[in-house]
Structure 1
Amino acid sequence: MTGKDVARLEEAGDTIPPGTRINITFLAGEDTTTRLTAARAVKRLGFVPVPHISARRLPSRPALEEFLGGLAADGTAENVFVVGGDPARPEGPYEDALSVLRTGLLHRHGVRHVGITGYPDGHPGIADHALWTALADKAAAITAASFAGDVITQFGFDVDPVLAWLEDLRARGVHLPVRIGVPGPAGVRRLLGYATRFGVGTSASVARKYGFSLTNLMGTTGPDRFLHALAERCDPARHGVVKVHFYTFGGLRTTAEWITGFRQRNTFAPPAP
């Protein structure tokens, strides 16, 4: 959700299981009050708030302290997600997520669990070797600071690069749980727009695997095929602890209702020990 989605969350609340982790983005144009209000609403409704901290959008160390202090005062600081952020140039002293992790301020304000980013489809503006180095460094910093943590990935349409990336991740010694990004049900045109923005592969073959056509952009699609393929092919021995993270694209209730229906329609055998 964004900071401005409180009303949408309240409207969708009865469709979301208690204790669900709900991420709160750190968008440009939203102030600290808006973000803190959203985190309080998530907690009030019985869910776990996961406020984002966008390193490159922070204008100063005092701004980071103000945000963390507000979260701590509200009892919503235990879980955060730290991301580099979109600006080409940092708006303050923090170049990337690692620089925020190294401030020591997270521990001081009661943070216990830190999420970081992963990019199975790569990043349009960052070379793969730099992504791997950054991910390894952030995972090491999380472990060294005795945080619990996980990796949340960009969303994608193809399970193949996700599974290959997971194997590579474990081979590189990163064993944090991973939440694979999954797009909630949405219009094809909208999904493709987000995919282009975030560098997600959308070739004709990928589209067919996922279940939509690049020649018919007017329909709506959900991630049924993707989730089935992930469940069938994910092997804990090779891929580690894997969960999912839904990107709602503003459709909180639509996504929550889709998840409920998917659970009712499907049962999955537990993985072999």
Structure 2
Amino acid sequence: MDADVGVPARVMTDASLEMTAKDAGDVAAASAVLAPGTCVNITYLGSETTDSRVEAARAVRAAGLTPVPHLSARRLRNRDEFVRYLEVLKGADASRTVFVVGGDPATPEGPFGSAESLLRTDLLQEHGVRDVGIAGYPDGHPEIADAELWRTLHAKVDLLAELGLGASITTQFTFDEAPVLAWVERVREEGIEVPIRVGVPGPTGIRRLLGYARRFGIGANATIVKKYGFSLTNLLGAAGPGVFIDALEQGYDPARHGVVTLHFYSFGGLEATAQWLHDAR
């Protein structure tokens, strides 16, 4: 598909991106086409080290962007490890804004079983954290019942308000704008008014994109992916998010949906995603 499908401006405002530590070498090139201060999330992968994550955060800060390190509850082996990570992030000027998530392991590697359990330690404020991102799941979660997802979303937003910390929600990516908009509208009906970043994949190979979709439990049937702009019968080539973003913009009503922006998962590489975002703007 044409990766430069006409993308309107409203939901593109203040878009953020996501990278892994191995993308640190691409940060400088990406920053050349990104707005200063753009938020760049740094994932917490089990295959990467604390040092590599912190170096990635330093690279983001040095490039004039805003590092948003992930804190993965189930990957932290003990409270001391959590404290040490927060300390080095603060030392790297990368602790003001973080993203707190439960994490992938089915069995926690330490005492923290959920994002909520990290928030309840009060350690974030002690280490300079002022704003916290949390996860949202418009398509649901393969391991968590919908009722529990809504309960924990309310609990985390309420707790962050009690702690005096800023909050935002970043969703998993999806191929269909209709469930996303319906989910955002329900969030508002539930009385949750914090900003929402809708997750979208940056331009990437179709096979790679579908692999991530399976990993995260994202629906990818023939009808949905055709709507997104590619076909399951032709997995060669690449796909970009332009069609999805156009459709999202057309259905977006600030009066019903509140503050909604985009978060780009850079499956095809940080630099390529940054360039796509620059060109689309």
Shift of 1:204: 1.2
**Match for 1:12: what amino acid?**
A
TM-score, with structure 2 as normaliser: 0.92
Alignment pair present for 1:4 and 2:22? yes
Given the alignment, which residue of 67, 76, 81 partners 1:58? 76
**Match for 1:20: what amino acid?**
T
State, as a whole percentage, how many aligned pairs show the same letter: 54
Alignment pair present for 1:219 and 2:237? yes
Alignment correspondent of 1:228: 246
The number of residue pairs the alignment matches comes to 263
Shift of 1:252: 1.0
SS at match of 1:98: helix
**Match for 1:100: what amino acid?**
L
**Match for 2:117: what amino acid?**
S
Shift of 1:249: 1.1
SS at match of 1:56: helix
Alignment correspondent of 1:268: none
**Match for 1:173: what amino acid?**
G
* Equivalence map 1:71-220=2 (5 Å): 71-220=89-238
Alignment correspondent of 2:266: 248
Q: Which runs of 4+ in 1 moved over 4 A?
A: none
Distance in 2 between the 1:219 and 1:74 partners? 39
SS at match of 1:38: helix
**Match for 1:38: what amino acid?**
A
SS at match of 2:220: coil
Distance in 2 between the 1:137 and 1:172 partners? 12
Distance in 2 between the 1:73 and 1:143 partners? 26
Shift of 1:15: 2.0
Alignment pair present for 1:30 and 2:42? no
Q: Which moved more, 1:101-110 or 1:120-129?
A: 120-129
* 8 Å CA contact retained: 2:37, 2:65: yes
Distance in 2 between the 1:25 and 1:74 partners? 16
Distance in 2 between the 1:208 and 1:31 partners? 38
Distance in 2 between the 1:261 and 1:76 partners? 28
Distance in 2 between the 1:230 and 1:182 partners? 11
TM-score, with structure 1 as normaliser: 0.94
SS at match of 2:149: helix
* 8 Å CA contact retained: 2:175, 2:228: yes
Q: RMSD in angstroms over aligned alpha carbons?
A: 1.0
Where structure 2 has 5 or more consecutive residues not aligned to the other structure, the ranges are 1-18
* 8 Å CA contact retained: 2:138, 2:180: yes
* 8 Å CA contact retained: 2:204, 2:268: no
SS at match of 2:64: coil
Shift of 1:211: 0.6
Shift of 1:30: 1.8
Distance in 2 between the 1:190 and 1:31 partners? 24
Distance in 2 between the 1:82 and 1:126 partners? 17
SS at match of 2:219: coil
Flag the 1:241–1:174 CA change in 2: closer, same or farther, 3 A: same
SS at match of 1:81: strand
* 8 Å CA contact retained: 2:43, 2:69: yes
SS at match of 1:5: helix
SS at match of 2:32: helix
Given the alignment, which residue of 85, 88, 105 partners 1:67? 85
Cα deviation code 1:120-159 (max 9, x no counterpart): 0111111111111111111111111111110000001100
